[in-house]
Amino acid sequence: MPTVELLNMQGEQVGEIELDPRIFDREVKMSLIHDVVRMLLNNRRRGTASTKTRSEVSGGGRKPWRQKGTGRARHGSIRSPIWKGGGIVFGPKPRDYRFVLPKKVRRAALCSALSAKLQDNQLTVLDQLKLDQPKTKEIARLLQNLNVEGKALLVTAGPDLNVYRSGRNIPGLKTIVARQLNVLDIINHDRLILTKDAVASVEEVFAS
C-alpha cells in the first residue's frame, strides 16, 4: 500500500498517510489518459463554425457575361467558389463534437493520472487547510513552504470560499473540490496538492 508524507501548512511532516492502491497504485495507461483528455476537450467545443456555400452567398444571380464570343472563360455566377467573394467548398458547418467514453474508462484514466503523479513525486497531502478569512498571502506562503514550482492544482474535500478567494489571484494555481477532479486538470498542473479530507473523498468516490 503506497504511503506519502502528511504535511502541515508550514511544510513540516506531521505523519504519514496510506493511499488506496486501487486508485493511487495502478498501472499508468497513457492511451486511456489520451482518450479521456480528447473527450474532455472535444466536449468543450461549441461547434459553431460555419461557412457559406455558393447557394448561400448573396448575389450572383445574373450571368456575368454571355457564354460565347467574349474570349473569356464561361461563367454562370460571380459567386462560384473560384471567384473572390464566392462560396466555400467543403467548409465547416455547425456540428456536435461531443462523445462520451464508458464510465469505467474514465475512472481508469483518472486513476492512471493520480498514480502517475504519485510515481513522479508530484503528489502532496496536507493534514488540513483552514483559513479564517480570504488571504492571498496565506496561500502564497503555503505554496512557498511546499516548494511548489510551476502550476499547482489544490483540491479540497468540499467548497471552501476562503481558500478559493485566497488562491484565485495566484497565477498557475487552480482550486477545485474533490468531486470536480478530472484527468485534464491533473496532467495540466505540475503539482497536485490534496487535503487529507480530499483524499478520503476521492477514495470514497472512485475506489468503488
pLDDT at 49: 95
Is the domain of 35 the same as that of 104?
Answer: yes
Is the domain of 118 the same as that of 189?
Answer: yes
Look at the pTM and tell me if it is higher than 0.75. yes
Calculated CA dihedral for residues 189, 2, 112, 153, nearest 10 degrees: -20
pLDDT at 190: 93
Q: Which positions of the chain have pLDDT values less than 70?
A: 208
Local structure of 142: helix, strand or coil: helix
pLDDT at 60: 86
Is the domain of 73 the same as that of 162?
Answer: no
Angstrom distances, CA of residue 135 to CA of 99, 139, 148, 165, 170: 40, 7, 18, 8, 11
Residues 143/164, Cβ–Cβ less than 8 Å: no
Is the domain of 63 the same as that of 146?
Answer: no
Cα–Cα distance measured from residue 203 to residue 184, given in angstroms and rounded to the nearest whole number: 19
Cα–Cα distance measured from residue 41 to residue 86, given in angstroms and rounded to the nearest whole number: 33
pLDDT at 78: 93
Domain boundary among 37, 68, 91: 91
Is the domain of 80 the same as that of 136?
Answer: no
Is the domain of 67 the same as that of 153?
Answer: no
pLDDT at 160: 87
pLDDT at 1: 81
Residues 36/99, Cβ–Cβ less than 8 Å: no
Q: How is residue 88 written as a grid cell?
A: 466555400
Is the domain of 38 the same as that of 121?
Answer: yes
pLDDT at 2: 86
CA atoms within 13 A on the CB side of 125: 22
Question: Domain tally for the chain?
Answer: 2
Domain boundary among 38, 59, 91: 91
Is the domain of 8 the same as that of 40?
Answer: yes
Tell me the CA end-to-end span of the chain in Å, nearest whole number.
Answer: 17
Q: Which domain holds residue 65?
A: 51-91
Is the domain of 134 the same as that of 154?
Answer: yes
Distant-in-sequence, close-in-space partners of 74: CB < 8 Å, separation ≥ 6: 67, 68
Is the domain of 136 the same as that of 198?
Answer: yes
